Amino acid sequence: MWPLSLVAYLVALFATSSALPTVPHPVPRPVAHPHVPHAAHGAMDSTTQDHKPHAPRACTTIYPALRSAASQPPPYLVTVNASAGVELGFTVPEAAVGSCNLMLQLPSGLTGAGQVNVVALDGPAPGALVGTVDFQPGAQATINSFACRSQMCYSFQLVGGSPGTGGSGGSGRRRSEPGRELGSDRSAVAELSFMEEQGAGVIMTFGISRPIPAEALLPGEKQEVQVEGLDATVLLLNAAGTISCVGPKCTHYGAPLKDGVLSSDGRITCPWHAACFNAKTGDIEDAPALDSLAAFKLSQRDGAVYITGDPEVIMAGRRKPNMRPAAAAAGGSGSDADRVLVVGGGSGAIGTVECLRESGFAGPITIVSDEGYLPIDRPKLSKALLADLGKLQWRDEAFFKTGNIETMVDDAVTGVDFAAKKVTTKSGRTLAYGKLVLATGATPKALPLQGFQVLGNIFTLRNVGDVRNITAAVGEAKRKRIVIVGSSFIGMEVAGAVADGNDVAVIGMEKAPCERVFGFDVGQLIRKKMEAKGVRFHMEAGVDKAAPAAHDASKVGAVHLKDGTVLEADLVVLGIGVAPATDYLRDNPVVRLEGDGSLKTDETFGVVGLRDVYAVGDIATFPYHGPGGGGRYTRIEHWNVAQNAGRTAAGHIANPAKAAKRFIPVFWSALGAQLRYCGNTSWGWDEAHLAGAPDDEGRWACYYAKGDEVVAVASMGMDPVVTKSAELMRLGRMPTMAELKGGLDVLGADVAV
């Protein structure tokens, strides 16, 4: 293991083309600098040579002081956005005297040959060219033995060479900050790469670049370590012999990834909700996270480990997706034939549009939904009755504008002409498309019984407006009588959210809450958790009617059960299931809806029988290849599944030749405690095995099997059992039921090699 005290960071110093950071010293004398030609969009153009002097610029001190009186110059790091006509300087520390070597690595993202000059900005000969090297994109070149004078200011100038369409680099402008000492090695390494999101310029990064020995961290091991000089940590990982460094927290809800699962194929999975990231790049592999992890370059000297990165990015540990591929930044083709039209505004919709841009799709994108707001974190509606859009919306309008994504959040699609590739909306608009992604979600079911259609204060829960109505009915004064009809997830989550200070009764048709999914034993464990919060249960009960209140005949006053029980109620919440929201397709002669109103899709979530049409989320019935599935068709109403389906559809649109990536369904719920679940029991199970200490500590895991094959796992208080099981299922390494009953611990099963 690397000791925490040995981990330091190299600060990436970003400068914009409009101004350079200044420091108290040294202040260079006004000098004339060799000219770097201007280009129309910030790219360097070697064909024009104008030798007018530049205005003087203050030089940036990269290392204002050394930790010890080193006789050797330390390696150092500078990261700058070098736009045309701008010299970006650095200061050599006092100890950095003598001869220096500079190695330059040019990426293939630059096109055309060019030259890098090292110019003195002050000292005995201001403006003197102290080193120069010609380069070809992707080649390596070296400037050897140029004089490193104490406290002198130098400039790196790129002459010629144009930004290409790709390459590594930063993701926007960041403030400049002083760097920190790296060590006493005389060699420095420079990497030039095109700053794609900035649209122009070059990033220069200077720092040591040495391989980390694989034996320092064993395969499968991970360690969260403190970054010296910053109030931040990073996560070091060894995935099958490849050591990497990423942000330490899941970008979904902030779970510590040191407690997650690292797999041999280079995935790090969150221990809470199974968000999955590439362990090397930080890219998203599976939902529900939308931001990727920040990833940092590693280096080592004398047993100490260093990372290279912008301090703001190190502190954040995350990065947003690149929503501006080169063509999209210019508005894309603008053709309706290239347009992806996404109908809906939920998890599947945002998964689709973000993955499209991440995958390099540059055509126009339009989102149409009738929710009245941009995509939100919908699980928080039922789990916390949260209605604050500022805390619910994943992205703001500026985010979508950055990606040239048009958003229409106050309109509904009422019909589709699949032959003409056009949709019509409630407002009367006609929208053309090249590809159509249907992500309209589900509609809560109503109760077709006396009183439930006409009385007030009877609610379903699907959107922010529903939450506001429920919380308004609950009000500030406590001790409201609240009846929940339905003992599955939505009903149980709402019961838990309103239990504090209120009288809450849950009506269920099963013997135990959530029995259809978890079975009786787990259902009873959940019931005990909820009863501890004061929730009362009426199980194996049928509802007869809703009766009006004595003081106000327009509002509900009681719910009558078929056995004669009367439950007084100030408000009622229905949680009796949902149906696919496909009414706009019901009379369409081209479409064949499944019996439940869903659309049958293939593995890419393309709708069977329709060209260039995809269905994701609650409306999709798709072939399931997880344990017990065998490609049979199922429909799964999970947040993660919808987002992963959207990402799958987007990946196919952007790259039709690429095979669809399969995923294991995961969901979570707040049922007296945090419950996790992975897999699928659409076709039932033969046996359930309950392990842990469910009675004494409330910590348990339950394994569900068809034959000897484990098809699903649920847990409470035993993270990361479900995350680990999901990865084992994905890799085809899930232990058998016989092995688990024989005492095998899932957490001991290996996914790291």
Going from the C-alpha of 117 to that of each of 41, 132, 209, 220, the distances in angstroms are: 21, 4, 22, 44
Higher confidence at residue 453 or residue 42? 453
Residue 602: closest CA among 587, 630, 623: 623
Q: Give pLDDT, residue 119.
A: 59
CATH class of 673-748: alpha beta
Q: Are 327 and 364 in contact (CB under 8 A)?
A: no
Lowest mean pLDDT among 222-231, 475-484, 558-567, 584-593: 222-231
Segment 419-438 shows an average pLDDT of: 98
Q: Give pLDDT, residue 229.
A: 65
CATH 3.50.50.60 fits 336-342+352-438+580-654, yes or no: yes
Q: Which residues, in sequence order, are CB contacts of 79 under 8 Å at separation 6+?
A: 12, 13, 14, 170, 203, 204, 205, 206, 310
- Same fold? 336-342+352-438+580-654, 458-576: yes
Q: Give pLDDT, residue 17.
A: 25
Predicted confidence (pLDDT) at residue 45 exceeds the cutoff of 50: no
Phi and psi, residue 154, nearest 5° = -120, 160
Segment 13-34 shows an average pLDDT of: 23
CA separation for the pair 81, 194 (Å, rounded): 9
Predicted confidence (pLDDT) at residue 500 exceeds the cutoff of 60: yes
Sheet holding 365-368, edge to edge: 405-408, 365-368, 340-343, 435-438, 613-615
CATH topology of domain 458-576: FAD/NAD(P)-binding domain (3.50.50)
Higher confidence at residue 293 or residue 157? 293
Predicted confidence (pLDDT) at residue 44 exceeds the cutoff of 50: no
pLDDT single digits (tens) 632-665: 999 999 999 999 999 999 999 999 999 999 999 9
pLDDT single digits (tens) 291-304: 999 998 887 655 55
Question: Residue 114: pLDDT band by 50, 70, 90 thresholds?
Answer: low
CATH 3.30.420.40 fits 215-319, yes or no: no
Question: Residue 161: pLDDT band by 50, 70, 90 thresholds?
Answer: very low
Predicted confidence (pLDDT) at residue 621 exceeds the cutoff of 50: yes
Cis peptide preceding 26, ω within 30 of 0: yes
Higher confidence at residue 351 or residue 228? 351
Work out the percent of the chain whose per-residue pLDDT is above 70.
Answer: 69
Lowest mean pLDDT among 72-76, 434-438, 582-586, 672-676: 72-76
For the chain, the structural domain boundaries read 20-206, 215-319, 336-342+352-438+580-654, 458-576, 673-748
Residue 498: closest CA among 517, 484, 509, 518: 484
Work out the percent of the chain whose per-residue pLDDT is above 90.
Answer: 61
Lowest mean pLDDT among 146-155, 342-351, 706-715, 736-745: 146-155
Q: Are 252 and 293 in contact (CB under 8 A)?
A: no
DSSP-assigned states of every residue in 95-137: T--EEEEEEEE--TTEEEEEEEEEEE-SSSSTT-EEEEEEE-T
Question: Residue 230: pLDDT band by 50, 70, 90 thresholds?
Answer: confident
Question: Residue 137: pLDDT band by 50, 70, 90 thresholds?
Answer: low
Angle CA 594–595–599, to nearest 5 = 20
Q: Give pLDDT, residue 191.
A: 34
